[in-house]
Structure 1
Amino acid sequence: MASIEIGSYEPPSDTNLARSVARILLRAVGLTMTIAVAVAVGIWSSQFMVSRGSLLSTDSYGPWEHWRNLGRDFADPYTKAHIANSGKLRIASNSAGVFEARTDNLGARLHSSCNYVIEGSNMSGMWWSLAVFDARGRLIANDANRYTFTADTVAPNPNGSFIVTLGRDARPGNWLPTSGAGRLVLVLTILDPSTGLSDEARAERNKMLPIIRREGCS
């Protein structure tokens, strides 16, 4: 009878075993890092869309951002979260335009270490207010107790236009103090007339938003 020779079993060497374990560990670390990065990006993008908006929720006019469905019942979740986080009044976007600016017209971040000139055109009889806040949405404490200018309190130019300045040091005219607040946010609110505005009139209104010009920084 023919005999069948069975080969002897040779266990893997320590070197091969170590390499296999290393490959498994590297894959596990890589997967963990991928998941962590994905979660971090997701959280950052959600926070950004809540605080700054996106093409899905906001319109941009130069440095000014407008949440198009602000205060409306059918607003998207990011718009609703933006209102909840900022503590803003729920002024519906079909009765007022609320515009936020965090940069000047050249795209530089607004900061209390710089001086700014805000040049606005005649608002054609519409009531408006302009206020400056810190990055956390708080009014900036100051000895002059100046926090906002409105269509009723601003000193206009003869042609109905206006100039408001921002800066730490007092100056004549329509000056809003920024103290040492750091990063700044400007909020411009324009109320629609009682008769309302058509889409065409609202588009014309949005073309009249002020220019934000930086004068210098210290």
Structure 2
Amino acid sequence: MKQKATDLASVELEPAAISPASRNSVVRTVFAILLRAIGLILTIVLAVTVGVWSSRYMVARGSPLSTDMYGPWQQWRDIGRESADPYTKAHVVTTGKLRISADSAGTFEARTDSQGARLHSSCNYVVEGANMRGLWWSLAVFDARGNLISNDADRYEFTADTIAPNPNGSFVVTLGRDARPGNWLPTSGAGRLVLVLTVLDPATGLSADERAERNKHLPVIVREGCS
């Protein structure tokens, strides 16, 4: 019996041999799991990145959900209202600008000319506006950061009170680096430009139809040439 016990104790148990096919199957399974995990991580990162970028863009530039377009002119439709959407409210906060309520005025911004080309100080422009029929308005030019453009003429905007209109009540404003006669707004070397048109509602207010009619006749922005 002692001899048998000794013989059994001395027997070395060898692990069962794993076939190459089984080993390859395990490797493939592990590799597939790793690929799925990496794919999931990349999907999450991409989704977060796109979400953050799109949110920032919608806050800075707006979207059809929060703005209306009239040719080159963009209007945040509910700005200053209690019912404003989160993107509109965030836009007001992040820009730090005091905005007149959409119930009291129409505020329109243009970053392109009427052909869709980006406004730039290296180009000259003509802004042609129709008769506003008694409505008070202002037209100002800013750089891309929303700052007034420093210039020797100390001229930053025209209003219904300061413009030299045409006999029929329409008006023409020119934009460019070099001085010219008439209603000229200097753009210096500001680079990209933003035009802001503000039209105040009359004391009696405007109906939705009257606002829609007003918005059909916003100024046309024509590029003359660039240097």
- TM-score past 0.5 threshold: yes
Aligned to 2:83: 74
Aligned to 1:161: 170
Distance 2:64 2:36 in 1: 37
Is 26-35 or 95-104 further displaced after alignment?
A: 26-35
Q: In the alignment, does 2:121 pair up with 1:115?
A: no
- CA drift of 1:11 comes to 7.4
Aligned to 2:197: 188
Aligned to 1:57: 66
Distance 1:102 1:25, change over 3 A: same
Q: Report which of the two structures shows the higher radius of gyration computed on alpha carbons.
A: 2
Distance 1:180 1:36 in 2: 40
Aligned to 1:8: 16
Distance 1:11 1:171 in 2: 89
Q: In the alignment, does 2:187 pair up with 1:174?
A: no
Aligned to 2:114: 105
Aligned to 2:44: 35
Aligned to 1:86: 95
Distance 2:180 2:27 in 1: 73
Distance 1:31 1:144 in 2: 59
1:142 maps to amino acid = N
- CA drift of 1:17 comes to 6.4
Distance 1:22 1:174 in 2: 70
Residue by residue, what CA displacement relative to the aligned partner does 1:63-94 show, whole Å, maximum 9, x if unpaired? 11111111011211111111111222231101
- CA drift of 1:179 comes to 1.3
Is 13-22 or 170-179 further displaced after alignment?
A: 13-22
Distance 1:23 1:115, change over 3 A: same
User: What is the identity percentage for the equivalent residue pairs of Structure 1 and Structure 2?
Assistant: 72
Structure 2 residue ranges without an equivalent (≥5): 1-14
1:10 maps to amino acid = I
1:126-145 correspondence to structure 2 within 5 Å: 126-145=135-154
Stretches of 4+ aligned residues off by more than 6 angstroms: 11-17
Number of residue equivalences = 212
Normalization by structure 1: what TM-score?
Answer: 0.90
